[in-house]
Amino acid sequence: MEQEYVLSVKVNNNNGVLLRVSGLFSRRCFNIKSLNAAETEEPNVSRLTIVVAGDLKVLTQIKNQLLKLYDVHEVRILEDAVTREHILIRAGRSDEDRHKIIEIANLYRAKPVDIGKDSIMLELTGEPAKIDSFIELLKPFGIIKMVRSGITALERD
């Protein structure tokens, strides 16, 4: 059955490592929903958090093919993990909109980071589902620009 999986992939922090991983996904027709790359506690190692869509067979293929890349050290399919996403979003068309947006922001504990004449920019960190519903609520006010970080995740102990 097709569903989304979160992979946590430890890779060498080299030039080109993102290209190697994304190239693998593209040439093997694996579907990336989001990809987040950042340094870890070890400077030579980066952690990629990749959300993929597929069935179990595809998931096994992705894992095995990734492990064949020289720069990939470890691939974990996350089951019990803390997953977070960060969003920056600007919305609103009027002073009135702005006030209503701030009300919603308070409910979600989103933080205003830039206030314009008619619109406001907010930031929010949370589970992807929370981010989704936040975006839905802001849609009526007109979303001007937004950027999602993609999911980052770490396994629970």
Q: Which two tokens stand for residue 131?
A: 């981010």
Q: Which of 3, 4, 16, 127 binds another protein (CB under 8 A)?
A: 16
Size of the site for another protein (CB under 8 A): 15
DSSP string, 71-129: TEEEEEEESSEEEEEEEEEEE-SSHHHHHHHHHHHHHHT-EEEEE-SS-EEEEEEE-HH
Of the ranges 3-11, 17-25, 33-41, 76-84, which one interacts with another protein (CB under 8 A)? 17-25
Residue 106 binds another protein, judged by CB under 8 A: no
CB of residue 14 to another protein, shortest distance in Å: 9
Q: Report the site for another protein in 38-77 (rule: CB under 8 A).
A: 57, 60-61, 64-65, 67-71
Looking at beta carbons only, is 70 or 93 nearer to another protein?
70
Residues 6+ apart with CB under 8 A from 25: 31, 32, 52, 62
As measured in angstroms, the least distance from the Cβ of 3 to another protein is 18
